[in-house]
Amino acid sequence: MSEEMKIIPDYKQRLRELREEMTADLQELVRINSVQGKPVDGAPFGTGVRDAYDYMMGLGRRENFLTEDADGYGGHIDYGTDSGNGSLGILVHLDVVPEGEGWTYGPFSGEIVDGEMYGRGTMDDKGPAISAFYAMKALHDCGYIPGKRVRMIIGLDEETGSTGMEYYKQRFDMPDAGLVPDGNFPLVRGEMGIMMFDLVKKFGKPQKGGIQLRKITGGSAYNMVADSACALINAPGGYDDIRREVEEFAKHSQYSLSSRVRGKSLEIKAEGISAHGAMPWKGKNAISMLMEFLGTIRFNCDEVNDFVAFYNDHIGFRLHGERIGCELEDEVSGKLIFNVGMIDTDKEKGSICINVRYPVTLEAEDVYSGMSALLGEHNIGVVKQNCQEPLYYPENDPMVQTLLKIYRDNTGDMTEPLIIGGGTYAREMDNAMAFGAMYPDDVDLMHQKDERVKLENVMKTAEIYADAIYELAVKPYPVGSEEDETQDKE
């Protein structure tokens, strides 16, 4: 073994030396509001997303990594060069879901309390992105030269459709294999299919007199459980009786419902609990609360009454498509998951925005065909928005086994690999899977208020990712003499 290789530094020790710097960089990234906004020149997903992107690319340039941009739709940071052995991708995203309400600390504050950093993106996906970046940096600082190029690919609209990744793929070839720090540990070997679609019903003209529904709005994204919803109604006889009914209904149901007069209208509001659309049972859907109450009112439009009744009879709080015709499941991934993310109703039509996660052995058409007869009976149309096919790797897949060993060696945790309802960038390339960064004992606050991450986990995750990069891109391709193959990473 060469003298140089004998004294090569310990990259995990280097990570520990970088802890304060890593925390500061994450804090600055979290402070950038990167919810998708209005497109402008050079910022197709809004200026906030662009600011986060520029910050991350700046970190890459600071460390003398090569960076390349795909016209603001995404880009990459390279550690090492193309040596003919291929490349290892690390796919992250910097956009975040809307912040919602009710935070203990500011959603873009990066506030650190009792060893945890608060802020939208700390878990999904800025925290894991910083851990992965610092894993690259520590190896680089210690002098490791990967025989397989390591490319961190930065996505900018993962939460809203991933069109940016499609644009990126037109400009650059994707790596041969990849890690996606946007899921769960120990690792994710399967992701259910994901569909987004709208259920739309047109309304006829209202009758004269009676109670009129002006609008219903609620939710902020397909893939979030709606944490608030609001209806505006007009009633010729005043609102005292309806307001008492709201109060009694709230007391009986234990729902958070309130009402207030706004000009000539009555506003009825429901407050729920947000959660990721892949796990709607962790939240409480405000749209379903509000619609249940609206079902007690007779409106002056038959189609409006049918729309409200359809929702309550066939959707409501049911999370697996039980009453709408798509209660599907398989042995590998379990039951289909059905989430109402948003609602938008006016005098002319009602639209319900649905996010479905379907089993890995089935197809999207199984979902649509299952619902078609019932929807036809109620004159409800389907507007298809987006669909991602399932992803699945068997337990004996070599990549599964390698990553599982790395995780277990670092943690001692023997949890089995997962199949999840969530979707990640692992679908964007061959031989890729989500690898962290949420641990089995973490409280899942992705897409919820008070999203936060333990700073000790940011460090632990960086160490795991450094081991993964070492095992997959450095160790198999030693530089120098044959003796280098036996170098000890520690």
The tokens for 193 are 């299919």
Domain residue spans in the chain? 3-192+391-486, 194-388
Please give the radius of gyration of the chain, using alpha carbons only, rounded to the nearest integer. 25
CATH architecture of 3-192+391-486: 3-Layer(aba) Sandwich (3.40)
Each residue's pLDDT expressed in tens, for the chain with a length of 490 residues: 344 444 567 999 999 999 999 999 999 999 999 999 999 999 999 999 999 999 999 999 999 999 999 999 999 999 999 989 999 999 999 999 999 889 999 999 999 999 999 999 999 999 999 999 999 999 999 999 999 999 999 999 999 888 999 999 999 999 999 999 999 999 999 999 999 999 999 999 999 889 999 999 999 999 999 999 999 999 998 999 999 999 999 999 999 999 999 999 999 999 999 998 999 999 999 999 999 999 999 999 999 999 999 999 999 999 999 999 999 999 999 999 999 999 999 999 999 999 999 999 999 999 999 999 999 999 999 999 989 899 999 999 999 999 999 999 999 999 999 999 888 999 999 999 999 999 999 998 988 899 999 999 999 999 999 999 999 999 887 654 333 433 333 3
State the CATH class of domain 194-388. alpha beta
∠451-94-86 over CA atoms, to 5°?
Answer: 125
Greatest C-alpha distance within the chain: 92
Which residue carries 């990712």 as its tokens?
Answer: 465
Residues 6+ apart with CB under 8 A from 79: 65, 136, 139, 140, 146, 149, 150, 151, 152, 469
- Return the H-helix or E-strand segment holding 459: helix 455-469
Residue 18 CA to residue 12 CA, distance in Å, equals 10
The tokens for 480 are 């120098």
Q: Which active-site residues does the annotation give?
A: 95, 158
CB atoms within 10 A of CB 306: 16
Q: Rounded to the nearest 10 degrees, what angle do helices 455-469 and 126-141 cross at?
A: 50
| Buried-exposed string 346-365: b where 16+ CB fall within 10 A, e elsewhere | eeeebbbbbbbbbbbbbebe
Query: Nearest 5°: phi and psi at 33?
Result: -75, 100
The tokens for 229 are 């919803």
Which residue carries 């061959």 as its tokens?
Answer: 430
The tokens for 107 are 């959603």
Contact 488, 158 (CB under 8 A): no
Contact 466, 18 (CB under 8 A): no
Sequence-separated contacts (24+) of 369-375 with Cβ below 8 Å: 370/321, 370/325, 370/326, 370/327, 370/328, 371/321, 371/324, 371/325, 371/326, 372/325, 373/325, 374/314, 374/324, 374/325, 375/199, 375/325
Nearest C-alpha neighbor of 444 from the set 434, 453, 457: 453
